[in-house]
Amino acid sequence: MERSRIAFRPMKMADLPMIMEVERASFPTPWPKEAFVNELLHSPFAHYTVVTVDGEIAGYCGMWIVVDEAHITNIAIHPKYRGKKLGQATLAYMKRLARLLGADKMTLEVRVSNHVAQHVYRKLGFEAKGIRPRYYSDNQEDALIMWVTLDEDDGEHTVESNQNTGTGD
């Protein structure tokens, strides 16, 4: 079996049709296209990355950098690419990028019922630090707040727009 070429690059406006497909396939209440447009064009804090497999968009991750904190706004991998450790590779990439952009800690929220994602986040050093009650508007589910301290080595590797990481399988 051939190795897939996995790459990371900044999200572009032209990516939005495929990003919306990933959104609809991943979330019960997907972000509207306008939210991504606003993030890409108007937010000075936003950094959105696309993960591609052999040139095809497989997922994305967004984060805000505010002073020394990185906040993951959203992360999604298209269902046909799940189970290949792409989510883990994407978040590891974002940790390195955040460190290079001056952050020394990172946070995210995850549904309390999403044990698969929580397991991935824990593998990357995230720890549960609190609960946001009724955070998710679709079903009023609580969110687990997770944090990680970004180590110096999170930023040591050069973050390139077309980084090839192999498959991770």
Exposed/middle/buried for 146, CB within 10 Å: 0-12, 13-18, 19+?
buried
Q: How far apart are CA 133 and CA 115, in angstroms?
A: 17
In the chain, which ranges are E strands? 6-10, 46-53, 56-66, 69-77, 105-111, 127-132, 143-149
**Known active-site residue 2:** no
**Known active-site residue 121:** yes
- Backbone φ and ψ for 148, nearest 5 degrees, come out as -145, 145
Catalytic residue among 109, 135, 152, 160: 109
Catalytic residue among 48, 121, 127, 152: 121
Active-site residue set: 109, 121
